[in-house]
Every structure is written in C-alpha cells, then in structure tokens.
Structure 1
Amino acid sequence: MSVIESKLAELGVTLPDAPAPAANYVPYVVAGDIVYVSGQISANADGMIKGKLGADMEAEAGADAAKTCVISLLAQLKAACGGDIDRLVRVVKLTGFVNSTADFGDQPKVINGASDFLVAALGDKGRHARSAVSAASLPFGVAVEIEAIFQIK
C-alpha cells in the first residue's frame, strides 16, 4: 500500500475506482508534471449527494459532500499516475462549485470540507490555491462539484 493510501486508511478512506466520465470528455489530462482532473461530483457508495445549499442542505452537509468530491479527485489522480499516487508532489489548485441559492454565502465553508481533508491526508502537499463559487444548478442536481490541478513527479 502506498504512503498516501496508508494515511487515507488511517482516516477511514479507501480510494474507489476512478469514476467514468458522464459525457464527452476525459477524466484527466497529464501535461508534463501537471495533472488536470475534470470536475468530480458529490457522490458516495449510496449514490449522488444531491441538494441545494441554503434551501434543503446546510453548510456542514455540503462540506461532507465536498469531501466525497476530493476522494474521487484523488482516485482520478491515482489513475493518472498509473496507480502510483505517491508520485504526487502537491495539490496546486481546487475550483469548487456549490449548488446554492442566491442568498447563500458560505461557499468557502462548504469547500473547506475538501480542503481540510486534503491537508489532513497529505499534510503540506495538500495545501493549495482555491476558488469556491456558487452555481445556480449542477449536473444531476448534485450539491457540489470540484475540479483540481495536481503536480506529480
């Protein structure tokens, strides 16, 4: 088991198989030492995590949904690294989209669910630049979608 996967296991997380794309795009692109991972939607073993923050979902539940997105991002990263996720140098940037009402302003608190998990799992390698923005709706009615940029060796 890799160093990163061992740390994830300590946190109670096993990386799933990388999700297949839902449309006409690739799940990731490797360009030199940079991996661009397509947006991953909030989902777990029970299915998609749907909801609109500020209407039928609270920020804490949104943060939990964001964590599921980052687990899928790491699964895609592992696939992009040919199964060796320990090639990760650092998380460069996350862009988080939060399905929220016009008056909901806690998008950063929601995306903290992803950021906090990355730092817990990866230490300084997990510290990253970030955007957290509102979306009037997201695919399939999911609560959160996050895309990422990683540096690898």
Structure 2
Amino acid sequence: MTDTSSPDTTTVTVATDTAMRALGRAIAAETRAGDLLLLSGPLGAGKTTFTQGLAQGLQVRGPVTSPTFAIARTHPSLVGGPDLVHVDAYRLSGPEELDDLDLEAGMAESVTVVEWGTGIAEWLSDDRLEISIDRHADDTRTVQIRRIGDRWRGTLTALAGDKLE
C-alpha cells in the first residue's frame, strides 16, 4: 500500500484483497460508536472486502457478506465494542428509502457502513469518512479516504507511510 495525502484526504494504493482487509482493520482502530463510513466504487471494487477487514478490526460476529438483498445487517460486537451496521444502498432509489430503514435509531451505539452511500446517505451525519475505491485492470485499487467534519480531523495519520501487502 502506498500513500499520498492532503489535509482532509488520504489516497492509498492497495495491491491485494488481503491488503484491502488490512486497510479496513487499520481504519477500525480509529472508529468509535456513532461513526459513519460511506463506500463508493464500481461492482467488484472491494467495498465488501474492505468492510470484512473493518469487521475483523471491530471484532464483530460474522461472516460479513454483501447485504445487497437484505439491504442492512447488524453484526454484534464480540468484545463489548460498537456493533457494525452494514448497509448496501445499491437497490435503493434515494434517501427516502434509506430513511425507512431507521438507521439513525441505532447509530450512536454502532459503526455504520453504507456501500453505494454517495448521494444517498450523507444526511446521516455531518462527520463521516467517504471512501472511494477504484479497481484497476491489474487488480490494484486506488482508495481515496476523505475525512468530513471535526470528528475526523487529525485522524488516520497512521496510514501515511504504511506498507500493507
């Protein structure tokens, strides 16, 4: 994994699925109850793979699979930490349908990840990570992590210079 950063955005290149999960675990170390992560990228980019690593880092019950047809799954913590709420907004037509899931009710006690969340889920929190994944022909991925709001200011500095293979 290589890194280039700006004050509110970190861009990393991830070479393998294992490294994508390691990135998820690294970000899990910085998360806490109430956090929102929005994931975007084309089909097969690695959104669920990233979420699997996040789940490993949070030590929640699995397995973590894409919730495309279930829309949302809650993975309870195995260690007394926050639960992971994993949402797939791919089949939702807009923010109104996401609102019907009543995610806000449990957000304060969990880490919420919304795949395909861009343009649909930003209203859930003024403080969030927006993670965009682009998969290339050689299967490497460029992951752009944008920190939004005061909550994320100064976080994820450990990603700079990390080498994850």
**Structure 1 length-normalised TM:** 0.36
TM-score, length-scaled by structure 2: 0.34
The structure richer in helix per residue is 1
